[in-house]
């Protein structure tokens, strides 16, 4: 999964289609992520000392990672991403539309051992 917390993504399926927003949480084991303002549901809260008024609480729920696409920071378009090795041995993700690097995935091979 090439999407991380803080990335800007575009929703490509569902009720919130074509919404661009920031990733808040990533659940790698489940293949889901929480996107800001997307897939909102109401949770009905009972009155308590903690929540004296009660009522409905609106919160974001996780969506599947296959329903979003990473928005490239250089070209500004939603694009598929790939992984490649740079000349200095660092693995990076890159935009398949414009070819620009969008962040590192792992450090250089020799750097981790030192």
With respect to residue 15, please indicate whether it lies within any of the assigned structural domains.
yes
- Model confidence at 19, pLDDT cuts 50, 70, 90, reads very high
| 21, 35 Cβ separation under 8 angstroms | yes
Instruction: Tell me which residue range forms the domain holding 66.
Output: 1-42+56-71
Report how many domains make up the chain. 2
Residues 97 and 60 in one domain: no
Q: Three-state SS for 107? A: coil
Residues 36 and 92 in one domain: no
| 2, 70 Cβ separation under 8 angstroms | yes
Q: Three-state SS for 18? A: coil
59-86 residue pLDDT tens:
999 999 999 999 998 888 999 999 998 8
With respect to residue 51, please indicate whether it lies within any of the assigned structural domains.
no
In this prediction the pTM is 0.80
Q: In angstroms, how far is CA 12 from the centroid of its own chain? A: 13
Strand order in the sheet with 20-27: 63-64, 32-35, 20-27, 8-11, 68-70
């Amino acid at each position: 999964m090439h999407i991380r917390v803080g990335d800007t993504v575009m929703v490509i399926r569902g009720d919130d289609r074509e919404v661009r927003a920031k990733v808040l949480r990533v659940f790698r084991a489940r293949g889901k992520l929480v996107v800001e303002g997307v897939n909102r549901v109401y949770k009905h809260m009972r009155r308590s000392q903690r929540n004296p008024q009660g009522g409905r609480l609106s919160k974001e729920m996780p969506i599947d990672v296959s329903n979003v696409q990473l928005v490239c920071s250089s070209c500004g378009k939603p694009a598929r991403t790939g992984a490649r090795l740079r000349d200095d041995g660092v693995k990076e993700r890159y935009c398949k539309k414009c070819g620009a690097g969008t962040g590192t995935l792992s450090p250089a091979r020799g750097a981790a051992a030192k």
